Structure 1
């Protein structure tokens, strides 16, 4: 009998929680992540590291006898979500999206995209901390002569290389893996005399709530980039519901 598995699209803290619950409940699954450093988030289990493309996705699904998909990727990782939704529809695979709840709290200034933000003069002359992920830093490469830019990145060679390629020098970078406490967040902002923080609407697990709190306490302007709009066929913000989905599909 083949070893059927759930495909868990990972790379987030919640996906690690789901993976541990699957191991505890003897639910067979394989996790996919894009970076080697993300592997450490997970318990001993099958993990595939690397970007999945449309060309190799069907082979991946066949090789691992995938019978359902749980998408717990980052809210801004829409490329893999779109790919998973399309293949699930084509092959009639059950799909469930775990979507982080939106943060409700101290207000921020919201933009629907980085391009919309950079069309304004909001950042000009400011000391700006970017907590937007290293893949977004190239969009700010032409802004080093208009603002004093700092960036927080993940502690990985890939992230550091991308930041340096976008014009960030070592004295303008700090490498930290979330979660980050309010105390550490505040200390960093004070150290760099930050006047504006740019972040993504990545939910509490992504540190958004902490940033809202610290921004209010320090009087720092917080700019938030809204989540991309994507229509998921089925979604939940409840981890217990994810596990019920996994158990139900395993029994089918």
Structure 2
């Protein structure tokens, strides 16, 4: 059994490739959409999150390799899973994403956290276009009244996500429910349509569409606030194809 922690498109590619080769895969995805994709990709068991008794669970399932393809802004600083794998002699492969070479431009403003991004964005324009999803919305919502800003959020087209935004006081007309990543042209059209005065993003790499967001905003002369990645424990990183090759080499499937 192979465990794939999905959170990026790479995780989906790994699940789809391994199941196509005959491996049994259990997938963990935090969103409804991610779990739906995992089922489509052939995962035999799909969970919302790792159980508290992780080691017992891994042993019961007979997991022989773990592919950690969680989002760069997810649980990256939590190294307990890697430690469990090491103790149990389970192959642990961490999937990395190339970081964006943050443009040295007067309109690009790197920050270290979402609270800092909210304050910075509020000082740059009255209409903030938030492209970071539904997480950390509270920092921006809190500024709507105190700084008299308009907040536009782009989130996954899931009922619970849209409802969360509405429950936090974001009007439906300011909720863009779409599945990304998006091209420069689509980003540009949306920024113009909603009259964005400042764009907020995270450095999720090219695979996450960070480059096209920045390019689109700069082409419209809109300032961009970009949240840099958190510090992580140094470890070997693989792309999805390398991870599949490692599993094929160390755990060859003989049932084909």
TM-score between the two structures when normalised by the length of structure 2: 0.87
> Hey, what does 1:240 align to over in structure 2?
241
Aligned-residue offset at 1:99: 0.7
Aligned-residue offset at 1:34: 1.4
1:192 and 2:188 aligned: no
Q: SS of the counterpart of 1:219?
A: coil
1:127–1:148 CA contact under 8 A, matched in 2: yes
Return 60-69 or 118-127, whichever deviates more: 118-127
Distance 1:154 1:191, change over 3 A: same
Q: SS of the counterpart of 1:134?
A: coil
1:86 and 2:49 aligned: no
- What do the CA deviations read for 1:157-213 (whole angstroms, capped 9, x no partner)? 221122223321111111001122222211111111101110111111211011111
Query: Which 5+ residue runs of structure 1 have no aligned equivalent?
Result: none
How many residue pairs match? The answer is: 246
**In 2, distance between residues paired with 1:163 and 1:250?**
44
1:113 and 2:113 aligned: yes
Query: Which 5+ residue runs of structure 2 have no aligned equivalent?
Result: none
**In 1, distance between residues paired with 2:121 and 2:98?**
31
Matches within 5 A, 1:56-205: 56-78=53-75, 81-104=78-101, 106-107=103-104, 108-120=108-120, 122-123=122-123, 125-145=125-145, 146=147, 147-205=149-207
1:22–1:29 CA contact under 8 A, matched in 2: yes
C-alpha RMSD of matched pairs (Å): 2.2
1:98–1:239 CA contact under 8 A, matched in 2: yes
**In 2, distance between residues paired with 1:219 and 1:201?**
20
**In 1, distance between residues paired with 2:124 and 2:223?**
13
1:144–1:167 CA contact under 8 A, matched in 2: no
1:72–1:98 CA contact under 8 A, matched in 2: yes
2:156–2:179 CA contact under 8 A, matched in 1: yes
> Hey, what does 2:250 align to over in structure 1?
249
2:111–2:227 CA contact under 8 A, matched in 1: yes
Distance 1:35 1:80, change over 3 A: farther
Aligned-residue offset at 1:115: 2.3
**In 2, distance between residues paired with 1:81 and 1:23?**
27
- What do the CA deviations read for 1:40-65 (whole angstroms, capped 9, x no partner)? 33312224231224x24234312321
Distance 1:149 1:206, change over 3 A: same
Aligned-residue offset at 1:251: 4.2
Q: SS of the counterpart of 1:186?
A: helix
